[in-house]
Structure 1
Amino acid sequence: MSNDNVLQFAHPEGYTGIKKEFVHDPWQDLYAARQNRTILQGIPTQIEEHTLSENKILTVVIMMHGVKLLLPFSETCLKDTKLNENRNRLRKLIGRNIAYIVIGIDRESNLAIISRKAAKEKMAKTFWKNAKLNKIVPAVAQEVHFNNVLVDLGGVEVMIPAAEISHGWVHDARQIIKIGDAFDVKITYINKDKEDIQVSIKELLPSPYPDCLKRYNKGNEYLGTVSGIADFGIFINLEPGVDAIIPHLSKRKVKLGDNILIKIRDIKANEKKIYGTGIRVI
């Protein structure tokens, strides 16, 4: 049967039969994702209260081609506390790319219910199955604090202390890593039975030791930069990954970035530590 509204043309040059669609119906994808428990990813852009199963629930919302994907607080993997605190916790998810599984669909209301918790549990099973000591795995920073970084390894979260970020002194991890940063880490300890794991960034970086010790000698003086200030002393960076420790100066307070001439008084090669004395601030 002919259709007067459809004109017949020869196929354009390069035509493969695959056409770009400018309007996408998400429902087929959502039903398939729910049936197969497919792990999807999206970015929450809203915080809303919704009534689900006759209960008013705080949710974050991911938009998918006009459909609201609701992530209830109970499915976020966040610790449940007071309502106002929960809202603050949800704000940390806004703008971040998160994994989720579709667990419910309400097409009449143009809504779907999703679970980050279910996605992370599924990802964690795969991770523990494949994880091995000394294996290099991808990580994404979830939280960055002064002394440590919380990373996600694929459903498994682990804290990396500042000492495992660099061979040199790390004064503030927030100056090196930002939330959402992706990088490789090395598994340095694993106990699958207890689901306990430790990872390191430092182990993947070339160590300046012991080669750097050829460049420094006890009794000689060297110019360095203040890289950290602690109760027990001052860290002086001599080169990338190499910091000497000196006592606090008695007559002057120093700040990060100050240049100080120091005299090396001891080198402990086995401990990868250099001890010195401050001569003067340059």
Structure 2
Amino acid sequence: MSNAVQPPAEGASTEIDAETAPNEPAASADDGGAQSEPMTTETVAAETAETVAAGPEAGAEAESPRTSETLSDGGEVTSENAETDGETDREKAHAAEAELSPRASSSPPADGADGTDGTDGPVPSADEGSTVVDSSDAAPPPKPMSPELARISAALEAKERVAGKVIGWNKGGFHVAVFGVAAFCPKSQMELANPKKAAAYLDRELEFRIIDIKDDGKRVVVSRVPVLREDRSGILQQLRDKAKSGEPVEGTVRSVTDFGGFVSLGGGLEGLVHRSQITRHRFSEPREVLSTGQSVRVVVLKVEKNGERISLSMKALEPDPWQDVEERAKIGDAFQGTVVRRADFGVFVEVFPGVEGLLHESQLPIGRKLSDDDYSEGKQVEGWIREVDAQRNRLSLSLREVAATDPWKGIHDRYSEGQDAEGMVEQIANFGVFVQLEPGLTGLLPASATGVAAGGRLDRMYRPGSSVKIVIDSIDAKRKRISLALPGAKLEGTKADLRDYQNKLKEESGPSLNAMAAAFERLKGSSS
């Protein structure tokens, strides 16, 4: 009859109950419950050796790693120590079970999780005090990335631009569809400056840059600012280059003001076409020529303050009307034009498109004044061209008949000093009366020679447009001046008298003698 300890049933505890004390008899399965000898230290050791020798078939469950029953100092197994160790192991098992997450618990059981450890024998349960290590505590494998999110991630790493369509907005920014994935663009990232009204972006496809991917792709953040900065830098350099070459650029009128129009050049850059640079043709206000949304071609005049101030011109692309003005306008030619503006000294008349001439107040018809309604803006006037200076872009006009040729050419053939003449009073000045001898030829009758007492009013005796008889006092063709006097006035000490005296001396002394020689000859003759 063998005294080997029988292996416990599956799931049964190997703890020694306090009721089976060593001094009390234990029933044996072989003798049908006969009394056995009391268990001593030697008996326990002998039975344990037999169990080990029997192999795993006889005592696999007896080799549970859950606890190792220790012997007391007296050589006997103490139930107090075994019971305490069992309670500690059960607490550890329960703690391990509590740490298992729901997601981990739904995973397929690993080796040993179903009660086996991969060997032929069962693995003790948690109730038996064994420490359970569940492989489901390890991090789950990463979820595969969708093709769309993979494209977005690649664009983020490569810092590439992506096309996105604005599909909505809220207070903080805009919802953008990128590769079929909903992304978000903060309001501050939509423009370099303040963004437009949100509705202006709706359903528009724009270029963005991916700046962040959060929550495994559930939140994608995009921005237009890097794209706009790149575009701005490139366009700004192009504008600087074209400002040097004079090459025109295309633009769109964004707004029109009283002083000109602002033109969008792309990349967030805008330039101003001042009203003086819009066109060579006459207009009242810029809105007559420009309108919002209009496509225009301009020339870049200046780029200042790193693109913050750009000056443009549309007029520079029009042909210069002054290039052939000398062929179209000759002195003495008649003209017909429109008064475009008035000044204190005269009015400016547009003779040809882009060509304006000055009608000085002295060239108004005799008796007319600059304040007359006939010379207000928009009125049509007819007259003659007095002078053309294409190099200085100047044109002088007159409403009085102008000589077709230079009246000073051959002046001494037509007039001589002391000659009686008749003219027409042109205008009155404080220092005298201007008298027209012929178109383009005017002389001055000094106030001292008018016969009016000093301080008297000349306009009472000499009215503009009236006829007056005069005498040619002197002619200075080089300075284009003619001095006049009234008939009957003795021209004492005039240049004519001096010239007559000099001529008389020449005749008396002969052609080879000068004035000094002639005087010497006269003295010589008188002495003899």
TM-score band (shorter)?
0.5 to 0.7
Q: How does 1:59-208 map to 2 (within 5 A)?
A: 72=187, 75-76=190-191, 101-102=207-208, 115=224, 120-130=228-238, 131-132=240-241, 133-134=244-245, 135-155=247-267, 156-190=269-303, 194-195=306-307, 197-208=310-321
Partners of 2:205 and 2:342 in 1: CA distance? 39
Q: For residues 227-275 of structure 1, give each alpha carbon's deviation from its aligned partner in whole angstroms, at most 9, with x where no partner exists.
A: x436666543323222334469411176765432244444332232324
Partners of 2:275 and 2:356 in 1: CA distance? 14
1:79–1:144 CA distance, 2 compared to 1 (3 A):
same
User: Residue 127 of structure 1 aligns to which amino acid in structure 2?
Assistant: I
Identity percentage of aligned residues: 17
Kept after mapping to 2: 8 A contact 1:186/1:203 = yes
1:215–1:78 CA distance, 2 compared to 1 (3 A):
same
Q: For residues 32-82 of structure 1, give each alpha carbon's deviation from its aligned partner in whole angstroms, at most 9, with x where no partner exists.
A: 999743588x9x9xxx99421xxxx8x9x99xxxx9x989488556679xx
Alignment root-mean-square deviation, CA = 5.0
Q: For residues 81-129 of structure 1, give each alpha carbon's deviation from its aligned partner in whole angstroms, at most 9, with x where no partner exists.
A: xxxxxxxx859x969xx99544689xx9xxx9875x6654332211123
User: TM-score with structure 1 length normalisation?
Assistant: 0.56
Kept after mapping to 1: 8 A contact 2:272/2:310 = no
User: Residue 323 of structure 2 aligns to which amino acid in structure 1?
Assistant: P
Query: 2:397 matched to 1:276?
Result: yes
User: Residue 252 of structure 1 aligns to which amino acid in structure 2?
Assistant: D
1:231–1:51 CA distance, 2 compared to 1 (3 A):
farther
Deviates more, 1:250-259 or 1:134-143: 250-259
Kept after mapping to 1: 8 A contact 2:208/2:227 = no
Partners of 2:162 and 2:285 in 1: CA distance? 38
2:171 aligned residue: 51
Partners of 1:237 and 1:254 in 2: CA distance? 13
**Corresponding residue SS for 2:258:** coil
**Larger RCO (CA within 8 A; separation ≥ 6):** 1
Aligned length: 225
Query: 2:355 matched to 1:242?
Result: yes
**Corresponding residue SS for 1:51:** coil
Partners of 1:230 and 1:120 in 2: CA distance? 48
Structure 2 unmatched ranges of 5 or more: 1-147, 177-181, 213-217, 362-369, 401-528
Partners of 1:140 and 1:181 in 2: CA distance? 6
Partners of 1:272 and 1:71 in 2: CA distance? 56
Partners of 1:143 and 1:99 in 2: CA distance? 24
User: Residue 267 of structure 1 aligns to which amino acid in structure 2?
Assistant: V
1:168–1:189 CA distance, 2 compared to 1 (3 A):
same
